[in-house]
Structure 1
Amino acid sequence: MSNKELQALKERYVAAGVASPNEQFADHATNAELWDADGKRMIDFAGGIGVLNIGHRHPKVVAAIKAQLDKLMHTCQTVMPYEGYVRLAQKLSEVTPVKGHAKVMLANSGAEALENAIKIARAATGRTNVICFDGAFHGRTFMTMAMNGKAAPYQTDFGPMPGTVYRAPYPVPYHGVSEDEALRGLMMTMKADSPAKDTAAIVLEPVLGEGGFYAASTSFLKKLREICDENGILLIADEVQSGFGRTGKMFAIEHSGVEPDIITMAKSMADGMPISAIVGTDKHMDASGPNSLGGTYTGNPAACAAALAVFDVFKEEDVLGQSQRLGEKLKHCFTQWQEQFTHVDNVRCLGSMAAFEFVESKESRKPMPELAAAVTRKAKEKGLILLSCGLYANSLRFLMPVTIEDEILEEGLAIVEESLKEAGA
């Protein structure tokens, strides 16, 4: 079917709240390229929102899924367990930097991972409250909507959010929130709203995802670890978008040397297959009673096979090294644009988790979300999928596959530069 025909069906049958504004429909893809239903080629700098760190349809992952489908598709692992689940749990336990011996629960999505992390934290501590940060995005279920640090569009229209979720400032010095101010804000939250004795967990993204690709400093993360240790609070790192090589480490928290009690992950964990994980210290993961955790489809055999293949690809193709080298290229390019364009500022790259933002001037730092929207629109017209982000919606984030070919990368960056010029950046 053509794009036009599919658009007509979408308008008639797909709920408005979930329908994409994009009138193109993906037909097939490989690595960093995809083609729509009309045969138009696009370069993908979005990666399904950070899901495709090793590209569309990596051959080793496709082969692993096909092999698994010839053996087993579903049993529900709580009814009849299978090898893939326990092998993946072993692998995740070995590589995830939590504080102590790690145990694993598999789930289906990032939001589901965060929901279960909170359940586990409450069971382990006997406390109820959760402290999150401004600008955070943790999901679209009710608990994770409450945890998000940005109301619209995630909470709009959905009524009261669950209670016992409290907020603290995330350190973004560029926008006037220093590390010291963020820590003072956290201590005030613990004094005024969520006393330590009632707080089960402090949850943060080591690098804000939807919130703008701002990285927390090592000193801030170490201070959070100290606060949690002093008060019996669990530290939960949400690595759903920053994990699996995007920052040049398997997990972004590794840049700091800080070990959380629990890490949540999803997205690029299985190169497009729906799976997520909660990995935590064994005494915390074992805190709740029998049959208290799980789900019908959690840790699906095909998704487990895909995730295990992803680990093989990371080792065989030096994906972490590729991420670091890609980040260096992006930083060099973005720095040139920052010097060339009046409204481009605050270039930031942690590995290939890279972004910059649009401001009225480098002195005022006043956000220009309309310019970010114009650049993404022009890029799309030229055949490039590009995403904005940030609390002010004025940043461009770059989530192309780490495995992108050099010539495709250069072609895509040239389109961004053309779009910057045409949009008046």
Structure 2
Amino acid sequence: MSAIPQERRVVTAIPGPKSQELQARRLSAVAGGVGSVLPVFTARADGGIIEDVDGNRLIDFGSGIAVTTVGASAEAVVRRASAQLAEFTHTCFMVTPYEGYVEVCEALAELTPGDHAKKSALFNSGAEAVENAVKIARAYTGRQAVVVFDHGYHGRTNLTMALTAKNMPYKKGFGPFAPEVYRVPVAYGYRWHTGPDNCGPEAAAQAIDQITKQIGPDGVAAIVIEPVLGEGGFIEPAKGFLPAIARFAEDNGIVFVADEIQSGFCRTGQWFACEDEGIVPDLITTAKGIAGGLPLSAVTGRAEIMDAAHAGGLGGTYGGNPVACAGALGAIETMREQDLNGKAKRIEEVMKGRLSAMAEKFDVIGDIRGRGGMIAMELVKDRTTKEPDAEAAGALARACHAAGVLVLTCGTYGNVLRFLPPLVIGEDLLNEGLDVIEAALAAV
């Protein structure tokens, strides 16, 4: 049972006076480049509720950007992490190893797609996982070039900024970026020039043609793609696109990397989103939902590829921290015991049903898409031209925040509302949050 009543409650303006006091302190102490979607300061969080320091309870449709999939105070995560804290906090796995790291790698080998021999390496953040996947692919192939896709997001380090498509706020003013990165089209069905029906094969042919002309397949170390593009707008590549790209990689000795940092661990109603079209990646990167809110990430893949890097070539002081590993084992336990894949599918059923009904009433809604507990609503000024409406997205988010529902925006054009509720959220709370969204649409 949740320690926090699973009820929306707005008792002050949002943000309230205590949050405003803390925000004043924050502005004098925290670098301005670190932003916040909503400056309400959290006191407690669990289930589908975030309670702030003023006593407001917000319905959480963000999950810390797909991190608190099992809730922000999941019993198994707290129990296992607390037990590990009492034993030791750190030794550095590269100095004196410990069982928890090995257990997480064993679990990843079992859960990730494919029945081939697998190994893993653990890190702290999603960007670190992607960067190390590229290192491993380069070591294995002896090649340098990396292919990524329009609308993709992969992180904020120098290499992962180069891999990321969106300039503002992720890249502007931070260059020069790492070389030998090439960007090709993705199958964005809603915005594909010939329409969604032909999008998958057409986009794949165009991407493969560009790779062949610009680099040559024998120069490509890795193709890196999110099976559902997250920050780019929860874009599901049109059917047929991912299998065609994966076949091209296999035929040309290119390492196919599925970036499942936002879409993994039951988020889309499957353990990993690439399973939807039967994709078995050579390497898969995970983070976010892996450890119930504790900092952990991983690269998992074919044993012979993972072993290509020399001893000492992979690692990091905190990578695979024992407390984070304990949290991951607790999160996986929760996902299994509570059938969070099934719960994600039910969230999709409820949300898509409600949002589709809203789309019939409000012309600003251009597209409803996504899978499981990873659902998005793209807003446009005109359904015919599909001109993005970032202003409406911002106004809608602010209206939801004021009414006690935390929602996030995303998209290359800033015009997408993304919904990432904890998969443990109660259905009554889910529907109440959707009621608020509908009222906000009517007001905006």
Q: TM-score range by the shorter chain?
A: over 0.9
Aligned residue in 2 for 1:161: 177
Q: Is this contact kept in 2: 1:98–1:262, CA < 8 A?
A: no
CA offset digits 1:104-145 (Å, max 9, x no partner): 001100000000000000000000000000000000000000
Deviates more, 1:201-210 or 1:54-63: 54-63
Aligned residue in 2 for 1:244: 265
Aligned residue in 2 for 1:136: 152
Looking at structure 1, the residues matched to 81 and 33 of structure 2 have their Cα atoms a distance apart, in angstroms, of 31
Q: What's the CA shift for 1:100? A: 2.4
Q: Which amino acid aligns with 2:168?
A: A
2:107 aligned residue (91, 114, 121): 91
TM-score for both structures, normalised by structure 2 = 0.93
User: Match of 2:137, SS?
Assistant: helix
Looking at structure 1, the residues matched to 182 and 421 of structure 2 have their Cα atoms a distance apart, in angstroms, of 34
Aligned residue in 2 for 1:384: 405
Q: What's the CA shift for 1:188? A: 3.4
User: Match of 1:360, SS?
Assistant: strand
Q: Which amino acid aligns with 2:20?
A: K
Q: Which amino acid aligns with 1:55?
A: G
Aligned residue in 2 for 1:74: 90
Q: What's the CA shift for 1:55? A: 1.2
Q: Which amino acid aligns with 1:191?
A: T
Cα gap change, 1:205/1:140 in structure 2, threshold over 3 Å: closer, same or farther?
same
User: Match of 1:70, SS?
Assistant: helix
Aligned residue in 2 for 1:287: 308
1:278 aligned residue (271, 275, 299): 299
User: Match of 2:298, SS?
Assistant: strand
Deviates more, 1:341-350 or 1:413-422: 341-350
Aligned residue in 2 for 1:413: 434
Provide runs of 4+ in structure 1 moved above 6 Å.
Answer: none
Aligned residue in 2 for 1:315: 336
Q: Which amino acid aligns with 2:99?
A: E
Looking at structure 1, the residues matched to 201 and 414 of structure 2 have their Cα atoms a distance apart, in angstroms, of 25
Q: Is this contact kept in 2: 1:269–1:276, CA < 8 A?
A: yes
Q: Which amino acid aligns with 2:395?
A: A
Q: Is this contact kept in 1: 2:186–2:207, CA < 8 A?
A: no
Q: Which amino acid aligns with 1:166?
A: Y
CA offset digits 1:23-77 (Å, max 9, x no partner): 3211111111111122221111011011111111111111111111111210000
CA offset digits 1:11-33 (Å, max 9, x no partner): 11111111326332111111111
Looking at structure 2, the residues matched to 80 and 212 of structure 1 have their Cα atoms a distance apart, in angstroms, of 42
Looking at structure 2, the residues matched to 274 and 230 of structure 1 have their Cα atoms a distance apart, in angstroms, of 36
Q: Which amino acid aligns with 1:358?
A: L
The reply on whether 1:30 has 2:43 as its aligned counterpart is: no
Q: Is this contact kept in 2: 1:99–1:260, CA < 8 A?
A: no
CA offset digits 1:337-389 (Å, max 9, x no partner): 11111111211131221111111232222111110000000100111110111
User: Match of 1:77, SS?
Assistant: coil
Looking at structure 2, the residues matched to 212 and 152 of structure 1 have their Cα atoms a distance apart, in angstroms, of 14
CA offset digits 1:237-289 (Å, max 9, x no partner): 00000001110000000111111100000001111000001001000000011
1:334 aligned residue (349, 355, 368): 355
Q: Which amino acid aligns with 1:209?
A: G
Aligned residue in 1 for 2:228: 207
Of all paired residues, the percent bearing the same amino acid is 43
Deviates more, 1:361-370 or 1:265-274: 361-370
Q: Is this contact kept in 1: 2:100–2:322, CA < 8 A?
A: yes
Aligned residue in 1 for 2:9: none
Q: Is this contact kept in 2: 1:99–1:261, CA < 8 A?
A: no
Q: Which amino acid aligns with 2:100?
A: G
Deviates more, 1:304-313 or 1:340-349: 340-349
Q: Which amino acid aligns with 1:314?
A: M
CA offset digits 1:151-201 (Å, max 9, x no partner): 111111112111100000111121125223422332233233222111101
Q: Which amino acid aligns with 2:112?
A: T
Q: Is this contact kept in 2: 1:99–1:259, CA < 8 A?
A: no
Aligned residue in 2 for 1:192: 213
Looking at structure 2, the residues matched to 20 and 218 of structure 1 have their Cα atoms a distance apart, in angstroms, of 35
Deviates more, 1:93-102 or 1:252-261: 93-102
2:242 aligned residue (203, 213, 221): 221
Looking at structure 2, the residues matched to 113 and 123 of structure 1 have their Cα atoms a distance apart, in angstroms, of 15
The reply on whether 1:343 has 2:364 as its aligned counterpart is: yes
The reply on whether 1:399 has 2:413 as its aligned counterpart is: no
Looking at structure 1, the residues matched to 90 and 213 of structure 2 have their Cα atoms a distance apart, in angstroms, of 48
Q: Which amino acid aligns with 1:216?
A: P
Aligned residue in 2 for 1:364: 385
Q: Which amino acid aligns with 1:369?
A: A
Looking at structure 2, the residues matched to 51 and 23 of structure 1 have their Cα atoms a distance apart, in angstroms, of 19
Question: Gaps (5+ residues) in structure 1?
Answer: none
Looking at structure 2, the residues matched to 385 and 204 of structure 1 have their Cα atoms a distance apart, in angstroms, of 28
